[in-house]
């Protein structure tokens, strides 16, 4: 039994456990994982039980949406929203739906974001967790709609809205409709904000393009995980435009913090505790004036 769980033969079939993205190469298949940062090799299990943080160099591996929910919210408090929304192919892009369906199978998600309500150390919150294993976490109509509905639900419930972003940006296959999701989510956030409610944006690796240029940057507090790639334009595009070599830490969370673009960077191991404290600090019932 112990060996079986160690080998974890059914891992791919279980909901949302993916350790190896394309660039995080591993060998032998699934049993061992090589840290892309320090190149050390670990048992995959060892990394999984360490919140997917490298035990040697603290590299934060990409989490799946379900892993994030499990590590962040109170046990069994999560209720998903809007799992019935399905992607269409408005521009008739060849094999777009097939790719979406393949990622549904691979991740067990209906789209690149998982939304719902739950509790964080007893505090009621609405959360959205983007998953970069699903079409690079790109934002099309369903992602925009799920996030907007989640924000509207948080406004209705008068609770904080917390998002973990992980996205390459707007989803090209849905064209300008994807672009408009940036506006749709932002107008919903404005309403949530006008009610005096807290919005926390927690940026994880990677948060770029249209997602970075909309809700990800609109938190009352903008927080990031260590070393997360965060930026508007792609590094290669910038290098081609300005024809200069960019610093190694360009567009990392640390770079953004140094340039005044972030409130804080939280290590994954302290994420739950710190965010719970922030939520408690924003409980309604601040100073009231007569």
Q: SS3 string of 211-270?
A: HHCCHHHCCCEEEECCCCEEECCCHHHHHHHHCCCCCCCCCEHHHHHHCCCCCEECCHHH
Find the shortest distance in angstroms from Cβ 33 to other proteins. 29
| Alpha carbon distance 18, 67 (integer Å) | 9
| Alpha carbon distance 86, 161 (integer Å) | 23
The answer to the question of whether 35 is labelled as a binding residue is yes
Find the shortest distance in angstroms from Cβ 164 to other proteins. 17
Q: Is 119 exposed, middle or buried (0-12, 13-18, 19+ CB in 10 A)?
A: middle
Instruction: Give the SS3 label for residue 132.
Output: coil
Binding mask 170-189 for other proteins (x = CB under 8 A): x-x-xxxxxxxxxxx-xxxx
Residue 222 structure tokens: 């903008």
Contacts of 151 (CB under 8 A, 6+ apart): 126, 161, 185, 188, 189, 191, 192
Work out whether 209 is an interface residue with other proteins (CB under 8 A).
Answer: yes
Work out whether 86 is an interface residue with other proteins (CB under 8 A).
Answer: yes
Nearer to other proteins among residue 147 and residue 276 (C-beta): 147
Work out whether 144 is an interface residue with other proteins (CB under 8 A).
Answer: yes
Which one of 28-36, 118-126, 233-241, 265-273 is the stretch in contact with other proteins (CB under 8 A)?
Answer: 233-241
- Region of 190 (left: φ > 0; alpha: ψ -120 to 50; beta: rest) is alpha
Work out whether 97 is an interface residue with other proteins (CB under 8 A).
Answer: no
The answer to the question of whether 57 is labelled as a binding residue is yes
Work out whether 241 is an interface residue with other proteins (CB under 8 A).
Answer: yes
Binding mask 260-279 for other proteins (x = CB under 8 A): xx------------------
Find the shortest distance in angstroms from Cβ 247 to other proteins. 9
> Alpha helix (H) ranges present in 108-242?
141-157, 175-194, 209-212, 235-242
Find the shortest distance in angstroms from Cβ 109 to other proteins. 14
Among 21, 30, 48, 93, binds other proteins (CB under 8 A): 93
Work out whether 217 is an interface residue with other proteins (CB under 8 A).
Answer: yes
Among 47, 216, 271, 275, binds other proteins (CB under 8 A): 216
Instruction: Give the SS3 label for residue 27.
Output: coil
Residues lying near other proteins in the complex (CB under 8 A): 84-88, 90-91, 93, 141-142, 144-145, 148, 170, 172, 174-184, 186-191, 193-194, 209-210, 212-218, 230-234, 237-238, 241-242, 244, 246, 250-251, 259-261
């Amino acid at each position: 039994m112990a060996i079986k769980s160690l080998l974890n033969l059914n891992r791919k079939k279980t909901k949302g456990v993916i350790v190896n993205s394309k660039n995080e190469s591993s060998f032998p298949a699934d049993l061992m994982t090589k840290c892309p940062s320090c190149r050390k090799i670990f048992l995959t299990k060892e990394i999984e039980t360490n919140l997917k943080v490298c035990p040697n160099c603290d590299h934060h591996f990409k989490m799946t949406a379900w892993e994030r929910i499990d590590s962040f919210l109170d046990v069994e408090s999560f209720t998903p929203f809007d799992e019935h929304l399905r992607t269409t192919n408005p521009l008739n892009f060849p094999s777009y739906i097939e790719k979406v369906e393949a990622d549904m199978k691979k991740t067990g998600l209906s789209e690149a974001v998982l939304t719902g309500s739950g509790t964080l150390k007893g505090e009621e919150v609405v959360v959205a967790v983007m998953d970069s294993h699903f079409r690079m976490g790109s934002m099309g109509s369903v992602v925009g709609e799920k996030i907007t509905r989640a924000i509207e639900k948080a406004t209705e419930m008068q609770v904080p809205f917390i998002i973990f972003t992980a996205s390459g940006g707007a989803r090209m296959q849905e064209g300008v409709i994807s672009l408009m999701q940036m506006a749709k989510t932002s107008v919903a956030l404005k309403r949530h904000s006008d009610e005096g409610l807290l919005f926390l944006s927690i940026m994880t690796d990677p948060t770029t393009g249209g997602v970075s240029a909309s809700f990800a940057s609109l938190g009352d507090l903008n927080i990031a995980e260590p070393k997360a790639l965060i930026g508007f334009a792609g590094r290669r595009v910038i290098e081609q435009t300005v024809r200069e070599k960019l610093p190694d830490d360009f567009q990392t969370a640390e770079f953004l913090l140094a340039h005044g673009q972030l409130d804080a960077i939280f290590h994954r191991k302290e994420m739950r505790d710190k965010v719970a404290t922030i939520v408690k600090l924003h409980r309604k019932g601040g100073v009231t004036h007569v």
